[in-house]
A and B are shown apart, each in its own frame.
Chain A
Amino acid sequence: MSASFPSSRRQFLARSAAGLGLGAAALRSQLTLAAALNDGHPLAPKPTHFPPKAKNLIVFFMTGGMSHVDTFDHKPKLNTDAGKKYGSSKIKASQFEFKRYGQSGRMVSELFANVGDVIDEFCLIHSSFNESGGHSAATLGMHTGSITIPLPSLGSWVSQGLGTFNTNLPSFVVFAAKEPYNAYQCWDSNFLPGYHTGVRVIPGPDPIPNLNSPVASVSRRDLERLMLRDLNEEHLKAHPSDVQLRTRITNFNTAYGLMREAPEAFDISGESDAALKLYGVDRDDRKSFGWQCMAARRLIERGVRVVELFDVGSNSNWDAHGDIETHRGLARKIDQPIAALVKDLKQRGMLEDTLIVGCSEFGRTPWEDKNPKGRGHHAAVFTTFLAGGGATRGLSYGASDEYGARIAENPVHVNDFHATILHLLGLDHLALTYRYSGRDFRLTNLGGNVIKEITG
């Protein structure tokens, strides 16, 4: 190879050596620069509408329809009246044992014994309902407020309303081992700008696509980055006023930040033995629901605004038509981790700032499905929950009737649920609007009442 420019070669080598030698430090200074530019960053934190109770949001979504009457909505009459006619079907007893937990003395089934231990932290809504009893429509409804046309998701609205704390990481991260019903529409930003879209993490060795460089050698990778930066800066010199060019350069730095910070955030090997035991995970775990919950906490600690965790996906999930006993195995995987997250956040003083919510797209019928071992879809009433983030501790809000078949008091529409979540985050659901296609849209469409008993 000809090397015809010895003098400049020395300069270049000197510069690349500096770049190589400094490595992480150079990156850090770039990040400082990125941070300095944060004022103009579209995801920079924004003021709330009023003082918030919570700063962060963690959502648990149990796909397929988790039975309310077998988990958090105890209906002893199902067992006393088991086998009696109900419409064209027969009342089905719950085969799971319930017992009283905590100072609030609320009944929780054996499926969620660990959550039962921290039930005093929870606010349970026993009167949630959905407008559709179909998985896809109902899942879309729980995420966007619309059961038909896809609209921006809850997480993307929160990102739009609040921005985020660390622009090296996405504002909204979604753990989804398998795709849920309606797939990406559950975390899509739709007409909101694309940077509010949830970034999907696939639990396992490759959690975010393209996070790892194909070049194994750090020094060659850094050299290549330096070369790219040189090309771009040279180009920028000719067009100094072009913000787009500058933004794209910053964006590469953000990606390098993500490459450095995300693996560290996902790596739980430095966690204490006690913490690992709490979540029930091994040090090298990269996949289990316990790992996901721990990683969710680590992401929140590192400045991510919203994390959503999908339990399972659109199949082999909570959709227990065939046998409600399948709930046992599913619950075993998430009960301890959810309880651990609540305890862990509390120990770290993070629970008061972090709102945890959990739901399914609907509950399950108090009567037998076609297969008498199973239960069908039940959107007329089901249970959802909140914990931390200023949601009223120990509250049981609303009620279903004696069979858990219909709402007995205080119906909670998904718009109300969303309005309440936004309120705890310091956002007025009526004021969080976005103009699109000639009108102001909001997450709660034409509805939504904040449930004052929950927001305190």
Chain B
Amino acid sequence: MAVAPLAMAETTAPDPDAGRHWAFQPVREVSLPAAADALSAHPIDRFIRARQREAGLVPVAAADRRALIRRASFDLTGLPPTPEQVRRFEADTRPNAFAELIDELLASPRYGERWGRHWLDLARYADTAGENSDYPIPQAHLYRDYVIDSFNADKPYDVFLREQIAGDIIARAGAPENYAERVIATGFLAQAKRFGTRDLEDMHLIIEDTLDTIGKVTMGLVMRCARCHDHKYDPTTMKDYYALYGFFQSAGYPYPGGESDRVQKYFAPLEHPDVLARRDKEYFSGKQPEIDRLKAELKAAKPKGDKAVKAVQAKLDAINAGSPGRRVPVAYAMHEGKAADAYIQKLGNPRSKGDLVHRGVPSFLDADAHLDIPEGASGRLQFAEWLTHPENPLTARVMVNRIWQHHFGKPIVATPSDFGIQGAKPTHPELLDWLAKRFIESGWSVKAMHRLILSSKTWQIASAHDATNEAKDSANAHYWKFDRRRLDAELIRDSMLLLGGNLDLSRPGPHPFPPADKWRFSAHRQFKAVYPSNHRSVYLMVQRLHPHPFISVFNGPDTSATTAMRDQSTVPQQALFMSNSKQVEQQAEGFAKELAAAEPDTLKRLRLAYWRAFSREPNERELERALEFLARYAELAAAENVPEAQREPQAWAALARTMLTSNEFVFVD
């Protein structure tokens, strides 16, 4: 390749003080600011309130209970609360009512489906490989489910990361019953985008994608630039880059198949090798007499290639094919390869070798790091242990910043995957460090962080307008109100399916891909499919090359690269989808039917509609308007000769659609 496509623009000289950059310093133990007033009882509120006071801002009132439960429910589970849940919570005045609600939401399997999705955005999760024909990977969903299950189980984040980077190595040393899960976890690495048409073509780009993802996701480090030259701003050097590169060059990636070589290769068996060896031994020992007999027959047979001989060979093959080792399920996951240090690739060209670099970690983060890599091992495990060491200055900070981001719609460090010199500075640096410390202390419990953050007044504040505050801080950098947020693509679809009475909350099995022996995909005939589904959106089949028609219109993640924050732009196709699509029409009709089945009385039915869609009682004016709409709609339908029996259902379906497409439905206070 003549031109390195992603090399950095030459602009300014590197910062000589780069080593002293805040994010590369140890996480500090900060003392809490004094509790200045009644608004700052909670530790988080103290940090926030202290800065508000400096800025002359007074937070708006607390959110009402209806807003609170709706916010919490969407935030933690991605679905609206039921009217019963809202009523119960409104009536529950006990002081711990909210804490109990949070526990209930965190215990729901819906939680992992919501928060797992945030991680899948980061992991650039897809069910296809992204090379020229976008080969399907039927086993990819195992990793997706692993992520969801890990969030539901509140797997400590350090364990979660170690498993994703070195799970295959950990699995060998661990209990056989945990083997499959840990191997599947390395799907995080295996998911690296594939290129070209041949078996692991452009390996250096596959590793580049791996390093880009790991660097940004776990440490907020943009390392891509150092592939071709020392980083212009951050202290990352080419030496650092190729030191890390060695870990992954020493690993084995699975090959999903491609245009020139269609067969899956190097997928990871999901049984401990010792167990598999034992089972194979048992299997073959039972079959030994038959095998011996068949082999003897083969030896004696003449001539070779005879029909009878072929039949004997086929029997032998069938015995082998039936062995546990050959029948074990496999995952799109990693294995250990040939351990070796990497050469620097001059200008990022793999054919232009520079110096050999020992496998290791960036020296600017840890000058004395010495990884104890066993002979013959890749060192991935040692890297993962270094990464999740409590003294790593970046790992905890980066993750608490992400958790904060998803609770408030904006992170403390505005560039959540870039904590380098070019990244944004934290708006509340002490708070960030305080949270990072608590995160590590809690045993890296993500759920503990949810409880901590959601119990603050800062999170529980209303989304109300305030002209005085607005004049001083229109961007709400100081959290004087809660930022109203539009539902993500998945939340819009799931909530509509739910109200339409069509949401299937079970976990689907594998995607209905065509059988592997039928695959003839190429650049000319790319794999492309959209499988209809009523399951939650996290379970939709994701393609790298062909974005899902709904998810992509509503600003879904980039399926080819790690996505830290979704684009929130508004495009007219969204409104077209809402107004005209079959999907919305179906859910609106379903919603109307569900309402009719639940409540025959018109007024009561309208109230129920408001409760289900907006979690609240309609006011009189709204009731009047809805009634008038229904009446007028039926009149028009009559004038247009719609059969009488269809008029009312059509009117209700139309009303249901206006509710499902309204701002109140798609924005959360």
The stretch of B71-79, B382-390, B523-531 that contacts the partner chain: B523-531
Q: In the assembled complex, which residues on chain B have CB atoms less than 8 Å from the CB atom of A239? A: 463, 465, 484
Residue of B nearest to A236 (CB): B663
Inter-subunit contact A258/B484 (CB<8 Å): no
Inter-subunit contact A147/B1 (CB<8 Å): yes
Shortest distance between the CB of B129 and any CB in chain A (Å): 12
Inter-subunit contact B662/A148 (CB<8 Å): no
Inter-subunit contact B5/A146 (CB<8 Å): yes
Tell me the complex Cα distance, A137–B2, Å: 14
Q: In the assembled complex, which residues on chain A have CB atoms less than 8 Å from the CB atom of B547? A: 184
Q: In the assembled complex, which residues on chain B have CB atoms less than 8 Å from the CB atom of A42? A: 569
Which one of A215, A228, A244 has the highest number of Cβ atoms from chain B below 10 Å of its Cβ?
A: A228
Asked if B62 is an interface residue, CB under 8 A from chain A, the answer is no
Inter-subunit contact A223/B5 (CB<8 Å): no
Shortest distance between the CB of A441 and any CB in chain B (Å): 8
Q: In the assembled complex, which residues on chain A have CB atoms less than 8 Å from the CB atom of B581? A: 209-210
Tell me the complex Cα distance, A5–B628, Å: 8
The stretch of A7-15, A46-54, A79-87 that contacts the partner chain: A7-15
Shortest distance between the CB of A82 and any CB in chain B (Å): 29
Inter-subunit contact B648/A210 (CB<8 Å): no
Inter-subunit contact A214/B525 (CB<8 Å): no
Given contacts A239-B484, A315-B525, A438-B420, are A194 and B5 in contact (CB under 8 A)? Answer: no
Asked if A354 is an interface residue, CB under 8 A from chain B, the answer is no
Q: In the assembled complex, which residues on chain B have CB atoms less than 8 Å from the CB atom of A245? A: 484, 663, 667
Asked if A249 is an interface residue, CB under 8 A from chain B, the answer is yes
Asked if A4 is an interface residue, CB under 8 A from chain B, the answer is yes
Asked if A409 is an interface residue, CB under 8 A from chain B, the answer is no
Tell me the complex Cα distance, A333–B578, Å: 37
Tell me the complex Cα distance, A236–B484, Å: 12
Inter-subunit contact B636/A217 (CB<8 Å): yes
Inter-subunit contact A135/B523 (CB<8 Å): yes
Q: Within residues 178 to 221 of chain A, which ones have a CB less than 8 A from any CB in chain B? A: 179, 181-185, 190, 193-195, 197, 199, 208-215, 217, 219-220
Tell me the complex Cα distance, A219–B633, Å: 9
Residue of B nearest to A214 (CB): B585
Asked if A44 is an interface residue, CB under 8 A from chain B, the answer is no
Out of A1, A12, A147, A151, which one reaches B634, CB within 8 Å?
A1
Given contacts A131-B3, A183-B546, A210-B577, are A224 and B658 in contact (CB under 8 A)? Answer: yes
Inter-subunit contact B571/A258 (CB<8 Å): no
Given contacts A12-B632, A249-B663, A254-B572, are A224 and B654 in contact (CB under 8 A)? Answer: yes
Cβ contacts A130-146/B at 8 Å (1 or 0 each): 01001111000000011
Inter-subunit contact B2/A131 (CB<8 Å): yes
Q: Within residues 242 to 262 of chain A, which ones have a CB less than 8 A from any CB in chain B? A: 242, 244-245, 247-249, 251-252, 254-259
Cβ contacts B609-652/A at 8 Å (1 or 0 each): 00000000000011111011111111011001000000010000
Q: Within residues 555 to 595 of chain B, which ones have a CB less than 8 A from any CB in chain A? A: 555, 558, 560-561, 567, 569-582, 585
Q: In the assembled complex, which residues on chain A have CB atoms less than 8 Å from the CB atom of B630? A: 1
Shortest distance between the CB of A424 and any CB in chain B (Å): 23
Inter-subunit contact B575/A255 (CB<8 Å): yes
Tell me the complex Cα distance, A5–B621, Å: 10
Shortest distance between the CB of B63 and any CB in chain A (Å): 13
Asked if A241 is an interface residue, CB under 8 A from chain B, the answer is yes
Q: In the assembled complex, which residues on chain A have CB atoms less than 8 Å from the CB atom of B640? A: 217, 219-220
Tell me the complex Cα distance, A183–B4, Å: 23
Q: In the assembled complex, which residues on chain A have CB atoms less than 8 Å from the CB atom of B184? A: none
Shortest distance between the CB of A314 and any CB in chain B (Å): 5
Residue of B nearest to A185 (CB): B545
Inter-subunit contact B632/A223 (CB<8 Å): yes
Given contacts A245-B663, A251-B570, are A182 and B545 in contact (CB under 8 A)? Answer: yes
Asked if A227 is an interface residue, CB under 8 A from chain B, the answer is yes
Asked if B69 is an interface residue, CB under 8 A from chain A, the answer is no
Asked if B195 is an interface residue, CB under 8 A from chain A, the answer is yes
Out of A149, A170, A219, A235, which one reaches B6, CB within 8 Å?
A149
Q: In the assembled complex, which residues on chain A have CB atoms less than 8 Å from the CB atom of B84? A: none
Asked if B316 is an interface residue, CB under 8 A from chain A, the answer is no
Inter-subunit contact A248/B579 (CB<8 Å): no
Inter-subunit contact A2/B5 (CB<8 Å): no
Asked if A274 is an interface residue, CB under 8 A from chain B, the answer is no
Q: In the assembled complex, which residues on chain B have CB atoms less than 8 Å from the CB atom of A252? A: 575, 578-579
Asked if A452 is an interface residue, CB under 8 A from chain B, the answer is no
Inter-subunit contact B631/A251 (CB<8 Å): no
Out of A4, A134, A235, A445, which one reaches B627, CB within 8 Å?
A4
Out of A210, A234, A242, which one reaches B580, CB within 8 Å?
A210
Inter-subunit contact A2/B571 (CB<8 Å): no
Tell me the complex Cα distance, A319–B575, Å: 39
Out of A1, A9, A184, which one reaches B546, CB within 8 Å?
A184
Cβ contacts B464-480/A at 8 Å (1 or 0 each): 01000010000000000
Out of A183, A231, A259, which one reaches B662, CB within 8 Å?
A231
Tell me the complex Cα distance, A232–B663, Å: 6
Shortest distance between the CB of A28 and any CB in chain B (Å): 17
Shortest distance between the CB of A230 and any CB in chain B (Å): 6
Asked if B418 is an interface residue, CB under 8 A from chain A, the answer is yes
Shortest distance between the CB of B7 and any CB in chain A (Å): 6
Give the top 8 A-B pairs by smallest Cβ distance, nearest first.
A255-B575, A438-B422, A136-B132, A12-B628, A315-B524, A194-B569, A210-B580, A210-B576
Seen from chain B, the residues whose Cβ lies within 8 Å of a Cβ on chain A are 1-9, 11, 131-132, 195-197, 202, 205, 222, 224-225, 233, 415, 417-418, 420, 422-423, 463, 465, 470, 484, 486, 523-526, 528, 545-547, 549, 555, 558, 560-561, 567, 569-582, 585, 602-603, 621-625, 627-634, 636-637, 640, 648, 654-655, 657-659, 661-664, 666-667
Seen from chain A, the residues whose Cβ lies within 8 Å of a Cβ on chain B are 1-5, 8-9, 12-13, 16, 42, 131, 134-137, 145-151, 170, 179, 181-185, 190, 193-195, 197, 199, 208-215, 217, 219-220, 223-224, 227-228, 230-232, 234-236, 239-242, 244-245, 247-249, 251-252, 254-259, 314-315, 317, 319, 415, 437-440, 442, 445-447
12 A-B contact pairs sorted by A residue (CB < 8 Å): A1-B631, A8-B624, A12-B632, A135-B132, A136-B132, A150-B560, A184-B545, A227-B655, A235-B663, A438-B222, A438-B225, A445-B3
